[in-house]
Amino acid sequence: MCGIIGIVGAKPVQDRLIDSLKRLEYRGYDSAGVAGVVDGHVERRRAKGKIRALEDVLAAEPLPASVGIGHTRWATHGAPSQINAHPQRAGRVTLVHNGIIENYAELREALKEKGRTFESETDTEVIAQLLDYELQTRPPIEALKATLDQLTGAYAIAVLIDGEDELIMGARRGSPLVVGYGDGEMFLGSDALAVGPFTNQIAYLDEGDYVAIDRKAAHVFDEAGRAVQRPVRTVAAAAALVEKGNYRHFMEKEIHDQPDACQHTLSAYINPTTGHVHAPGGVDLARFDRVQIVACGTASYAGQIGRYLFEKLAGLPCDVEVASEFRYRQPAVTPATLAIAVSQSGETADTLAALRWCKAQGLTTAAVVNVHESTMAREADVLFPTHAGPEIGVASTKAFTSQVAALTALALAAAAARGRLKPGEEAHDTRLLLEAPRLIAEAIQLEDQIRTLAPELAKARDVLYLGRGPMYPLALEGALKLKEISYIHAEGYAAGELKHGPIALIDETTPVIVIAPSDPLFDKTISNMSEVAARGGRVILITDEEGARNAPAGARVIVGPTCDPMLAPMVYAPPIQLLAYYVAVQKGADVDQPRNLAKSVTVE
């Protein structure tokens, strides 16, 4: 999703704006731009495409400013183009915007009737026009408030005004915005990473806040226009440099980060000395008679794995639904339901709306979230953290396994709280769970074998993924990974569903990837593989040693670690991630920033 940086600096900002925008690349974008105060007026430079295109523009026409704003845009209203790139400009106003203004069409018409002409197709230009209009009769901060009062939708903005040489104004509703405190300099950013190169002293603005920063201070106002203070904290993530190290792509690095990510996550739930597992935040899991999980994309597949575990281990009924459906369907919920939003970013618009809806129904809400300062983390009653660290690749990997780790620990904690475990079982199961990081590391060692499959798979037009039980959501996740980074059409199916339709797709050109470590359902999956093989399908079986002994003739077999079925969704995730990764590399695709995708989808 779009990224924002603003600097009221004591020294030139051009390179620093670019540095920050590069850190925001992971969010996904299709154009970029900067603006700064040059000799008392605001100038801007913009380019379609990658930041290097913007750097070329700046090389030809530098921006010698010490006050400036920058933006990476992921197109919503209007195609990716230089003219639609931010900063957008109207009269004295130059601004950048994340989010969507829902009433922009009405506002645009009303402004046109006042004689205003528009240059771009963006909703953002409407904010600039409106603010410029309001500036005719009021000082900047009052004009900003008057503008915000007319907007419906989600936004984070940063604004420069001609004639106000040491001022950047900002506002947030629905999209996050942080204020960074430097030494004689101040910053605005769409997240802590944006201002990370300059400061780790950060204040998160609240919903509806707006702000004016100069070199020395931030003047923050709440939605009602009252001057307020927002606490300044030292944020570790802001200082940490997110580097690829020796890896070619962030995704590859993040696949390799998974043992640590899972270990750090599990340590928030399990006391390895006592073997006790608990839900963070003092939540008593015994008081719920149902769990409702809401999430999007990969996080929703982690949620589906969570459902198997809550029901099997804790006997706790659990529903899982994609948030974009849940939020609009007026679901029937019971008061003793624990609503859990699962999200890497904690900012996904649909998941956040579903979480807020559950809260409004009076349910206890929890957020399994990786970004602990995110909106979901702050708005949920309780944070169930994952500790994957910053995930930069658009394709989620370590966040997924960390979500599964957290949900597995929570399911065990619910089992213990509901009296479902025999004496000694809690310690036994947590000991097992703590083996996950090592087993994940073993699974990652399949990398060389998996790489050899890539050239053939890269030629496929369609790929099917099959699994049963918790391996079924993993099949869905495998298909999503392949689709999003290699652009090959892929579908995940419950293995038992194959004969109800998808088997018609099978021929010798369709690889079928079966994820089936040996478990009580393994024999049934073998039958499904035989059905595929009988129709000329090419089976790639990802299993363990025992499964390999029973593999059908002709199947290509990848042998992963032997593990308890409770751990299998985590342990068998790296092989399917590596498969998608090497197919994408084989195809020469942009692995970390796949086309059309954003890291955090903060619009509907």
Q: Which residues are catalytic?
A: 2, 599
User: Angle at CA 361, nearest 5°, toward 357 and 367?
Assistant: 55
Taking alpha carbons only, the member of 396, 354, 348, 393 closest to residue 375 is 348
- Contact between 402 and ligand AGP per CB under 6 A: no
First-residue to last-residue Cα distance in the chain: 12
Among 343, 518, 528, 543, binds ligand AGP (CB under 6 A): 343
Strand partners for 206 = none
Question: Binding of ligand AGP at residue 120 (CB under 6 A)?
Answer: no
Q: What's the DSSP call for residue 50?
A: S
The piece of 194-202, 245-253, 392-400, 429-437 that touches ligand AGP (CB under 6 A) is 392-400
- Residues 482 and 453: their CA atoms lie apart, in Å, by 13
Rounded Cα–Cα distance for residues 248 and 292 (Å): 39
Question: Cβ 478 to ligand AGP, closest distance in Å?
Answer: 11
Stretch that binds ligand AGP, among 64-72, 329-337, 391-399, 514-522 (CB under 6 A): 391-399
String of contacts with ligand AGP for each residue 126-155, x by CB under 6 A: ------------------------------
Residue type, 460: A
Compute the least distance from the CB of residue 552 to ligand AGP, in Å.
31
Contact call for residue 299 and ligand AGP (CB under 6 A)? yes
CA 334 vs CA 93, 223, 277, 309: distances in Å: 49, 33, 26, 21
Q: How many CB atoms lie within 10 A of CB 496?
A: 15
Strand duo 364-369 + 382-385: pairing? parallel
Looking at residue 235, the DSSP 8-state letter turns out to be -
| Count of Cβ atoms closer than 10 Å to residue 351 Cβ | 29
CA separation for the pair 283, 287 (Å, rounded): 9
CA 228 to centroid of chain Cα atoms: 30
Residue 20 within binding range of ligand AGP, rule CB under 6 A: no
Of 14-22, 198-206, 340-348, 559-567: span binding ligand AGP (CB under 6 A) = 340-348
Binder of ligand AGP out of 14, 66, 292, 298 (CB under 6 A): 298
58 versus 323: smaller Cβ distance to ligand AGP: 323
State the DSSP code for 130.
Answer: H
Residue of closest CB approach to ligand AGP: 297
Rounded (5°) CA angle 212-194-373? 85
The interface region with ligand AGP, picked from 102-110, 223-231, 343-351, 379-387 by CB under 6 A, is: 343-351
The nearest distance, CB 370 to ligand AGP, in angstroms, is 8
Task: Tell me how far, at minimum, the Cβ of 440 lies from ligand AGP, in Å.
Answer: 18
Smallest gap from residue 135 Cβ to ligand AGP (A): 36
- Radius of gyration, alpha carbons of the chain: 25
> Is 396 one of the binding residues for ligand AGP (CB under 6 A)?
yes
- Closer of 185 and 477 to ligand AGP (Cβ): 477
Give just the sign of the alpha carbon dihedral 351, 356, 361, 365. Answer: positive
Of 261, 394, 454, 576, the residue at the interface with ligand AGP (CB under 6 A) is 394
* Residue selected from 345, 401, 430, 486 as contacting ligand AGP according to rule CB under 6 A: 345
Positions 475 through 494 that interact with ligand AGP (CB under 6 A): 484
Question: Environment class of residue 404 by beta-carbon count within 10 Å: exposed (0-12), middle (13-18) or buried (19+)?
Answer: buried
Among 76, 199, 337, 348, binds ligand AGP (CB under 6 A): 348
Q: Which class for 337: exposed (0-12), middle (13-18), buried (19 or more C-beta within 10 A)?
A: buried
- Measured from the CB atom, is 371 or 540 closer to ligand AGP? 371
Q: Which of 304, 351, 365, 430 binds ligand AGP (CB under 6 A)?
A: 351
Q: How many residues bind ligand AGP (CB under 6 A)?
A: 16
Question: Which of 379, 372, 452 has its CA nearest to residue 406?
Answer: 372
Residues at the interface with ligand AGP (CB under 6 A): 296-299, 343-345, 348, 351, 394-396, 484, 597, 600-601
